[in-house]
Structure 1
Amino acid sequence: MPKKKIHTGGCLCGAVRFEADAPAGRPHTCSCKMCQRHTGSLTATWVEFPRDAVRWVGPAGAPATWRSSDFSSRAFCSTCGSSLGAIDDQPTVALLLGSFDRTSAQDLKPTYHSYKGGRPKWWCIEIREA
């Protein structure tokens, strides 16, 4: 039986760590104002997983959350403040790609972009299909 692929990652200080079972689902980029403010970046890169495919394994356990909408909470480390993603009411955990230890896995590559209108006109986002 082949070994199951696991993606790992965590916050800047290492207090919050995660393991997420591959394959990842719906990797995408987003330039909405909420994502911009959550990450401090013009574009966030998200990778969604079923909630039961993500385990919080660091010494701090699960990340702190802030309720950002009627259906989701933003996740962050309460020690260093690193943004980690969003935990939705539906059984989805969306992790920010920058929090992964290894970002080059093929199943983490974004396949579409949400809210292109939220980016400045000079900000070029190009997603090429493999």
Structure 2
Amino acid sequence: MTMFTGGCLCGRIRFVAEGEPDFPHTCSCCQCQRHSGGLTLCWVEFAKAAVSWVGEDGVPALYRSSPVSSRAFCVTCGSSLGAIDDGPTVALLLGCFDDKGAPGLRPASHSFEDSRPAWWKVDACG
């Protein structure tokens, strides 16, 4: 079984995600922009049951960002880690992975292109 590891800037929040990632994509929606301060985020989703929080601080802190999801972050260093949905999905930010170039993590699509400035070009599929 494939295993991916990662964590926050200070290392107090760590994760292990097992199995095949789902829906690796970039997103430029307004919520992602506010969440990160960046124009685009890179996401990859896993089944909630496939993600274990293994760092000394355990599960990340959550901020309720929509009726169906909460943004996950480290209270010590402030790093954004992703989003934990009410449903069966955890979406992790690609920048948090130890091996960002691992097979299966490369974004294959771009969501909310119309929310990015016209000069910001993302070639997620090329």
Whether these two folds match at TM > 0.5 is yes
CA distance in 2 between counterparts of 1:17 and 1:44 reads 19
State the partner residue of 1:67: 64
- Identical-pair percentage: 59
Tell me, in whole angstroms, the C-alpha distance in 1 between the residues paired with 2:123 and 2:19: 25
Task: Give the aligned partner of residue 21 of structure 1.
Answer: 18
Partner of residue 56 from structure 1, selected from 28, 53, 58? 53
Q: Hey, what does 2:83 align to over in structure 1?
A: 86
SS at match of 1:98: helix
Q: Write out per-residue CA displacement over residues 7-61 of structure 1, whole angstroms, 9 at most, x where no aligned residue.
A: 0000000000000013111100000010011111100000000000000000000
How many equivalent residue pairs?
Answer: 126
**Contact 2:109–2:125 under 8 Å retained in 1:** no
Deviation beyond 2 Å, 4+ runs, structure 1:
none
Q: CA deviation at 1:123?
A: 0.5
The 5-angstrom pairing of residues 111-126 of structure 1 reads 111-126=108-123
Cα separation, 1, equivalents of 2:70 and 2:52: 17
Tell me the C-alpha RMSD between the 2 structures: 0.8
SS in 2 for 1:66: strand
User: Over residues 67-99 of structure 1, what are the superposed CA-to-partner deviations in whole Å (9 max), with x where a residue is unaligned?
Assistant: 000000000001110000000011100000000
Report whether the alignment pairs 1:96 with 2:93: yes
Q: Which runs of 5+ in 1 are unaligned?
A: none
Paired residues for 1:20-39 under 5 Å: 20-39=17-36
Q: Where does the alignment leave 5 or more consecutive residues of structure 2 unmatched?
A: none
